[in-house]
Amino acid sequence: MNALFSYFHGPEVGYVDHARELVTFLSSSPPSEGSVKKVRLSVPAENGNIYTLPLKVRIRTFRTVETGECVCQGEVVGGAEHLARLQKDVPAAACREPFLRGSRRLPHRIRVLGRSLPGFHAISVDFSPGGLQVEGLGTLAVGSALHLTLDFDTPGMEPVQCRARVSWCRQEGKEYRAGLAYMELPAAVRAALDHHLSFLESTCAFSGPQRVQLPPEPEPLPPTARPSPPPRSPEGTLESCRIDDREAILVLRSWRGPCYELRFPKPRVVRDQRGLAGSVFADALELEDSRTATAVRRRASSIPLEDPPPLTHYQLINDQGEVIFEVVCQGAAAQTRLGDP
């Protein structure tokens, strides 16, 4: 599927966390608060593979991280059967690992090796039963799964291989600091890590474990203080449109691939704003809570012997977030590939 038309099935986003019907994910572009978006949630499986779950989410909050990506939290409003699979495969308790809740954390510096680490290595800051904190040369994608080798300097202890998920990452001066949560440790690896923690506790010059208090993760800014999101990247142009009582037909040309024809059945409202906002578009939205669609539905319901039609509101927007074309139609849009340019 061409990325340009991912709004029909949703853009691919990276899994970070979930709790009941709330899902946290990493998106390459900033959403709009309150908007409903279709997404394809990429979830790392324990065997190292990735599987994708299609969901429809209502965006609650988001914040931009150092990489320019956005950490978003949304309420699942469509795809309940896929959410049930996510809750079964990835229990929420496993996502919020104990070390994120303030369990015992011991300061200790060792080498952490991994092909996915910037420069192929990092240095640990502290350890806990649920994970470790590291300092490195570059950023790590939140939600990504890493294969690591922990090169302990404990006498008689061999290096330990494990998998961990990036829970958070932020820049501190010229370095980057990240929290890594262990993923389904084998019994032998868990025993080795517990042994190392016990060794650290026994050799520390204090009684009882020490807590390393980290600054809290940054909270999403209030709407009035949130900086403007970075502009979206243009994706293509709206080449032509043809409208009659039966359907509205748009031809879109992708700058990365072929042309597509989009058909909107039985259009009720059509607004062509290309004269004001141009014909170059960067994104498309399907609006669930649409005042325009509600008004059309009310007018239709006032006509005797006619049931209110199921209506869908679509918008094409440019890189400044301005609407260049929108249509309220009866039913869902369909797309057809016209061929390579």
Distance (Å, whole) CA 238 – CA 253: 7
Which class is domain 3-91?
Answer: mainly beta
Supply the DSSP symbol for 209. Answer: P
Order the strands of the 323-330 sheet from edge to edge.
Answer: 267-272, 323-330, 311-317, 283-287
pLDDT tens-digit profile of 236-265?
888 888 888 889 999 888 777 778 888 999
SS (H, E, C) 75-111: EEEECHHHHHHHHHHCCHHHHCCHHHHCCCCEECCCE
Q: Is the pTM of the predicted complex or chain greater than 0.75?
A: no
Query: What is the pLDDT, as a whole number, of residue 148?
Result: 92
Q: Per-residue pLDDT averaged across 206-226, rounded?
A: 43
Q: Minimum mean pLDDT among 44-48, 172-176, 180-184: which range?
A: 44-48
Asked if the domains 3-91 and 98-203 are classified in one and the same CATH topology, the answer is yes
Assign a CATH topology to domain 98-203.
Thrombin, subunit H (2.40.10)
Quote the tokens at residue 215: 């600054």
Distance (Å, whole) CA 187 – CA 303: 68
Distance (Å, whole) CA 164 – CA 145: 6
pLDDT tens-digit profile of 24-37?
888 877 787 788 88
Q: Per-residue pLDDT averaged across 1-8, rounded?
A: 42
Q: Is the dihedral of CA 5, 9, 10, 16 positive or negative?
A: negative
Confidence of residue 7 (pLDDT cuts 50, 70, 90): very low
Q: How many CB atoms lie within 10 A of CB 148?
A: 22
Quote the tokens at residue 49: 């593979």
Query: What is the pLDDT, as a whole number, of residue 9?
Result: 59
Confidence check: pLDDT of 142 > 60: yes
CB distance 109 to 135 below 8 Å? no
Distance (Å, whole) CA 37 – CA 142: 20
Distance, first Cα to last Cα, the chain: 16
Average of per-residue pLDDT values in the chain: 74
Q: Which of 77-81, 102-106, 239-243, 274-278 is the most confident on average?
A: 239-243
Q: Per-residue pLDDT averaged across 275-299, rounded?
A: 76
Burial of 112 (0-12, 13-18, 19+ CB in 10 A): buried
Query: Which residues face 123 on adjacent strands?
Result: 111, 135
Check residues 285 and 227 and name the one with the higher pLDDT.
Answer: 285
Distance (Å, whole) CA 10 – CA 31: 12
Residue ranges of the domains in the chain? 3-91, 98-203, 236-339
